Amino acid sequence: MKCPICRHGETRPGAVTVPLERDGMTIVFREVPALVCENCGEAFHEETVTAALLKQAEQAAAAGVEIDVRRFAVAA
């Protein structure tokens, strides 16, 4: 698909690093599947990936995590 941000590049399947911060917690997910623009590098995630990221972040927050780096797991 044509990138809606830069409007020049095409998006390609890839993986990105996603940092999330909230209320003093920082969690970094590595190897998150995404469509990445070949021109500007903007990443776009499917709704299921976003939902899984948020669920895993909520679980980490509930466990009292303050700082964490983890590999993204699709089925979490």
The rounded distance, in Å, linking the Cα atoms of 54 and 56 is 5
- What tens digit of pLDDT does each residue of 1-10 get? 899 999 999 9
- What tens digit of pLDDT does each residue of 39-49 get? 999 999 999 99
- What tens digit of pLDDT does each residue of 10-69 get? 999 999 999 999 889 999 999 999 999 999 999 999 999 999 999 999 999 999 999 999
pLDDT confidence of residue 74? 77
Fold of 11-71: Ubiquitin-like (UB roll) (3.10.20)
Q: Where are the domains of the chain?
A: 11-71
